[in-house]
Amino acid sequence: MKKPSHIAPDGSLVMVDVGAKAVTERVARAESRVRMSAGAASALREATLPKGDAFVAAQVAGIMAAKRTSELIPLAHPLPLASVEVTFEWTTATEVRVEATARTNAQTGVEMEALVAASVAALTIYDMTKALDRGIVIDGTRLLEKRGGKSGAWSAR
């Protein structure tokens, strides 16, 4: 069995040393899904929510969150992000798919940044629509693909 990368011989946690790794372009895409009532979906779609346009707020929140990933995830490395994109797509009349893409040129990947961006954007949609629907469900948060680095490309099926 392979030794866990974040555990020292004494059992304590360590941040992985990426100092000797090559700087390469790295890209990751992640998604979250937000399901809500027809009334909440209508207000979200028409930007008539009591708190304003949730898509604008969620897009900014996702980007900001990606930039702060290393403050939220204890062993994540701070990364110089080249770009973060957060987009939205209605998959059904009551479900929005949030997709986040993060890019960097660094010694480690941006999977966590993409996942955090998608998650926080979904949470922001929840926050802004909860007055109309307390039963909103956020699920399906997952990595869709990653490229770059020693391990190469990976894509979800």
Q: Which is higher by pLDDT, 48 or 11? A: 48
Specify whether 139 is catalytic.
no
The confidence score (pLDDT) of residue 37 equals: 98
Cα–Cα dist 65/117, whole Å = 6
The confidence score (pLDDT) of residue 122 equals: 98
How many C-beta atoms lie closer than 10 Å to residue 56's C-beta? 12
83: in domain: yes
36: in domain: yes
Q: Say which DSSP state 107 is in.
A: S
Say whether 10 sits in a helix, a strand or coil: coil
35: in domain: yes
Q: What's the longest Cα–Cα distance across the chain?
A: 56
16: in domain: no
Say whether 54 sits in a helix, a strand or coil: helix
Question: What percent of the chain has a predicted confidence (pLDDT) above 70?
Answer: 92
Q: Which domain holds residue 55?
A: 24-148
Q: What is the pTM of this model?
A: 0.90
**Mean pLDDT, residues 131-149:** 96
Residue 131: both structure tokens together:
């007055």
The CATH number of residue 121's host domain is 3.30.70.640
pLDDT reading at 4 higher than 70: no
Which range among 11-15, 98-102, 152-156 shows the weakest confidence by mean pLDDT?
11-15
8: in domain: no
Classify the phi-psi angles of 62: left when phi > 0, otherwise alpha if psi is within -120 to 50, otherwise beta: alpha
140: in domain: yes
**Cβ(133)–Cβ(25) under 8 Å?**
no
Cα–Cα dist 119/108, whole Å = 21
Question: What percent of the chain has a predicted confidence (pLDDT) above 90?
Answer: 76
2: in domain: no
Catalytic residue among 17, 127, 133, 139: 127
4: in domain: no
User: How many domains are there within the chain?
Assistant: 1
Mean of the per-residue pLDDT values of the chain? 92
For the chain, state the CA radius of gyration: 18
